Amino acid sequence: MTHPAPTELLDLARTVALTAGALAHRRRTEGVEIAASKSSPEDIVTAADREVELLIRGLLADARPNDGFYGEESDASGGSSGLTWVVDPIDGTVNYLYGIPFYAVSIAVVQGDPDPASWNSLAGAVVNPTLGEVFTASEGSGAWLGDQRLHVNHDVPLSLALAGTGFSYEAARRVWQANVVGGLIGQVRDIRRIGSAALDLCAVACGRLDLYFERGLNPWDHAAGALIAREAGARVGALQADAEGRDLLIAAAPALYDQFEPVLTGLFERFPSDAGLR
């Protein structure tokens, strides 16, 4: 089946993400309450997460009825077109709950099975409604913040790299992740924990971070952001040429990635994760 050009799919992703971002922002100003918890009491969902995902799902289904849908807050559905929309209605839900202005609507469209190990990302939009920032990329057409073309920072040695990471909602995994970060912090400029993987990846794309890594991400956390970082010149993957995924995601300029990989491998050997924490 032939598909529209990635730039055309991006127009849809951007329009829907902007509409969804406006709704998320409005609901935030009205006040936010926890609707339920998921994998742990810290892993929460708000009514806005669900409402925003429903809105996105409806708009995408109206425009592209034959595509699949894979979102954080509702059941996945397959399509017949070979394309799937991978959606996080509010990435950075805890920031959203606390009124920290770093949350984002993240919408990507991928070709192939909705699995980061094999999919081909065609287009992605990440909108931070509080700051009014719109990050976009489509395959082969570069990454953008509004109308500004993005490029990752090059020529940064690991010792001067500002590195971002994130922590799991599971306490045991978080403790292990903190050990790894403890081993890294003396080897880089400093560490940031922004609280939204989508925005972390966009931060690498626009040079606000030199490097980002995290273990335990879900596909919707990184689908759009990884394409944006890649199109800005980052290498995005895991260890030993593996694709990014739940096990690990690393994003950085290629030379920095090469410096970081053996260091992270060493830290994983020094702090082996327990069974079940992968």
Residues contributing to the annotated binding site for Mg(2+): 72, 88, 90-91, 221
Q: Which residues of 87-111 are buried (b: 16+ CB within 10 A; e: fewer)?
A: bbbbbbbbbbbeeeebbbbbbbbbb
**Residue 6 contacts ligand IPD per CB under 6 A:** no
Sign of the alpha-carbon torsion through 54, 60, 66, 71: negative
Q: Rounded to whole angstroms, how far apart are CA atoms 148 and 30?
A: 32
**Residue 93 contacts ligand IPD per CB under 6 A:** yes
CB of 114 closer than 8 Å to CB of 14:
no
**Residue 197 contacts ligand IPD per CB under 6 A:** yes
One residue of 68, 71, 129, 166 binding ligand IPD per CB under 6 A: 166
**90 is known as an active-site residue:** yes
Catalytic one of 72, 200, 210, 261: 72
| CB 218, min distance to ligand IPD, A | 6
One residue of 184, 206, 217, 234 binding ligand IPD per CB under 6 A: 217
| CB 154, min distance to ligand IPD, A | 25
Measured from the CB atom, the residue of 167 and 176 that comes closer to ligand IPD is: 167
What amino acid is encoded at 48 in this protein?
A
Residue given tokens 């950085």 in the structure block: 252
Q: Rounded to whole angstroms, how far apart are CA atoms 143 and 105?
A: 17
Catalytic one of 53, 210, 214, 221: 221
**Residue 181 contacts ligand IPD per CB under 6 A:** no
Other C-beta atoms within 10 Å of 133: how many? 16
Q: Rounded to whole angstroms, how far apart are CA atoms 261 and 137?
A: 26
One residue of 67, 91, 139, 231 binding ligand IPD per CB under 6 A: 91
Closest CA to 76 of 63, 87, 66: 87
**Residue 221 contacts ligand IPD per CB under 6 A:** yes
Name the residues annotated as catalytic.
72, 88, 90-91, 93, 221
Residues of the shown chain interacting with ligand IPD in the complex, contacts defined by CB under 6 A: 72, 88, 91-93, 166-167, 195-197, 214, 216-217, 221
